[in-house]
Chain A
Amino acid sequence: MTALPPPELVCPAGTPAGLRTAVDAGADTVYCGFQGPTNARNFPGLNFTPKQMAQAVIYAHERDAKVLAAINSFPTAGRTHIWKQAIDDAVECGIDAIIIADIGMARYLAARHPDQRVHLSVQAGASSAEAIRFWCDRFDIKRVVLPRILTVAEIRKVHDEIPCEIEAFVFGNIGMMAEGRCSLTNYVTGSSTNLDGVCSPANHVHYHEDDQGNLTSRLCDVTIDRYAQGENAGYPTICKGRYNVPHKEHYYAFEEPVSLNLTHLLPDLMRAGVTALKIEGRQRSRAYVRAVVSAFRAAVDDYAAGRTPDVSHLLALTEGQRETQGAFRSKTWR
């Protein structure tokens, strides 16, 4: 196997301690968000104050790592000052790049902080070379985080047709719907994925066990799945539930509860021109982040050196111990 240029390993951090863990475990870059609605992981107990973000940047820079601020939810009318403040705070603490999805915030950045490096979030759903070129042309986007719907062959073509870097998800939770345009949670709960940064929020999740020990998972009053006694129960995400249609019953209508794991496709992604490999999971524990980041650090370094790494232990960290290569391997996934 020939050596490949090592890609940048981009890792999640939900807390300052998580950031230190990721950096120490070998992350080249860590991404995180501010507390509140400005990012797509607005969960209780998660995310950074401006002061913590500034300290995180110092900690990372001292160790040659970079920090990206995800300010990637869509501001609602009348509240854009909260997002602008987050952008100003991120710029103030010397952040390496700001990840945005909203065109209004891209416009604000270009006008107010023209020297700040900006990345386009997966939430912007830029899934074609033309869409990416538009963002680069108008807002000088330096890197696009690609939606998780492209095959490796398509990524290679996109790479050849755009003027910016590509960041691609390689591991973690995989949503089935086009990012930034999914209103399923809001339809059921009244809280919006795009606007409030929540997906199947925990305060609307219920589990009910019947006399026979069967477990029903619900989001508000909507049954998302049902598990026989002893069956491994999952979290009720709408696009991972089981449903009925007229000619088919009790099936995963959208996707099975699997996680994305592209370890075996890493060399293909590197050859396709992907600059940065992204690991999902700002809501995950430090132990999880340490394990996944260490494993990917070793795998990326092995591939870069022309060795074939052993990555079998990453399966134990995937959702329900089940993994998929999602859309990346071939078009039959669609």
Chain B
Amino acid sequence: MEAELTMGPVLFNWEPDIWRDFYLQVADEAPVSTVYLGEAVCSKRAPLFDKHLEEVVTRLEAVGKDVVFSSLAEVTSAVDRRLVKKVAGSEAVDIEVNDISALWHLGGRTHVIGPFVNVHNEESLDAFAENGAHHICLQPEMPKEGIRALAGHALKRNVTLEVQIFGRVPLALSARCYHARAHGKTRDSCQFICERDPDGMVLRTLDDTPFLTINGIQTMSYTRLNLAGELEELTAMGIARFRLSPQSTGTVKASTIFRDVLDKKLSAEEATEQLRSCGPDVPFSNGFYHHRPGVEWRTPGVR
């Protein structure tokens, strides 16, 4: 199977018009086969861009892209539960399951398992495949030995695999909103304060070193994942899809750079140099892949 790029769901709270414009640009310019849409982080944000959803889906499908609706990653409140039910009930498109509650609603209908669901071993993959999963996006925490083992097993189960290769790394979820907390508010009274930070809010240590990124209830890396140097190895393992996680700038450009790497028009070193201007100017990381602390960066080609 030929390797393809995908565009993950926007994990940050973008203004609805900016959200729409981003996806229209993806439709026109990004060499991605699949586009994930929907709110995976906070159910309060979902209604904000709802008015643009139909237009965006229509445009993406018109240019031949596969559209997948992503479900919420943490589901507790009545609002969360209603959102999952609504998304899982969208029968015209494929669904990315980011919490087990969506599986209940899907009732065996074929679907995608997203990166917020734990699939770490062969038996888990079997369990999800038996329940209707045809494609699984692995967690960014997974090292290459694990990816390789699962890739071999997935082939036997007729399941395809996806790996995130670019963008900030999701690290944790909470019931509490840390954006609201930083502004002296609670989640219920948040006034959508996270909208001020389209790439998240940088958390620094007390010696002023940038450490993590706050995105509402989600905690992400400060660094940007970049697996340009690992693409060839991943492709050889049989990984079918490579995910970019949207940032406020440079994401579409990044997709063209990664496409050139897949097409052998660009080396990993050249790609990495060009990717520096794509998105927030923060260090790259690829440690998880190499079974090292996730924050670490190994230069492509250097082992």
Whether the pair A244, B221 counts as a contact (CB closer than 8 A) is no
Chain B residues with Cβ below 8 Å from A150 are: 76
Please tell me the size bucket of the interface on B.
35 or more
Which residues between 48 and 106 of chain A lie within 8 Å of chain B, taking CB atoms? 74-80, 101-106
Whether the pair A103, B206 counts as a contact (CB closer than 8 A) is no
Question: Is B17's CB within 8 Å of the partner chain A?
Answer: no
Question: Is A322's CB within 8 Å of the partner chain B?
Answer: no
Question: Is A225's CB within 8 Å of the partner chain B?
Answer: yes
Tell me the complex Cα distance, A133–B84, Å: 15
Given the interface contacts A186-B293, A190-B293, does A180 sit within 8 Å of B118 by beta carbon?
yes
Q: Contact partner of B188 among A220, A226, A331, CB < 8 A?
A: A331
Whether the pair B122, A177 counts as a contact (CB closer than 8 A) is no
Question: Is A25's CB within 8 Å of the partner chain B?
Answer: no
Q: How far is the CB of A181 from chain B (nearest CB, A)?
A: 6
Question: Is B49's CB within 8 Å of the partner chain A?
Answer: no
Q: How far is the CB of A166 from chain B (nearest CB, A)?
A: 15
Nearest residue, chain B, Cβ from A176: B174
Question: Is A288's CB within 8 Å of the partner chain B?
Answer: no
Which residues between 154 and 192 of chain A lie within 8 Å of chain B, taking CB atoms? 154, 176-178, 180-184, 186-190, 192
Given the interface contacts A74-B121, A79-B121, A149-B175, does A178 sit within 8 Å of B131 by beta carbon?
no
Tell me the complex Cα distance, A287–B245, Å: 49
* A residues contacting the other copy or chain, number (CB 8 A): 74
Chain A residues with Cβ below 8 Å from B187 are: 331, 334
Q: What per-residue 1/0 map shows which CB atoms of A218-250 lie under 8 Å from chain B?
A: 001011111000000000000101111111101
Whether the pair B182, A102 counts as a contact (CB closer than 8 A) is no
Q: How far is the CB of B204 from chain A (nearest CB, A)?
A: 4
Whether the pair B211, A195 counts as a contact (CB closer than 8 A) is no
Max chain A C-beta neighbours (<10 A), residue from B149, B175, B202: B175
Whether the pair A77, B74 counts as a contact (CB closer than 8 A) is no
Max chain A C-beta neighbours (<10 A), residue from B80, B105, B172, B178: B172
Given the interface contacts A130-B81, A246-B202, does A102 sit within 8 Å of B146 by beta carbon?
no
* Nearest 6 pairs of A and B residues by beta carbon: A104-B123, A149-B175, A77-B149, A104-B124, A130-B101, A187-B294
Given A147-B76, A223-B207, A334-B175; 17 other pairs, CB 8 A cutoff: A75-B120, A76-B120, A80-B122, A80-B123, A102-B118, A103-B128, A107-B123, A107-B130, A131-B75, A135-B100, A149-B76, A149-B175, A178-B175, A181-B172, A183-B171, A222-B209, A253-B182
Could you show 20 A-B contacts with beta carbons less than 8 Å apart? Answer: A77-B120, A77-B122, A102-B123, A125-B99, A130-B85, A130-B101, A178-B74, A180-B118, A181-B118, A183-B171, A187-B171, A187-B221, A187-B288, A190-B291, A190-B293, A226-B206, A243-B205, A248-B182, A254-B181, A332-B186
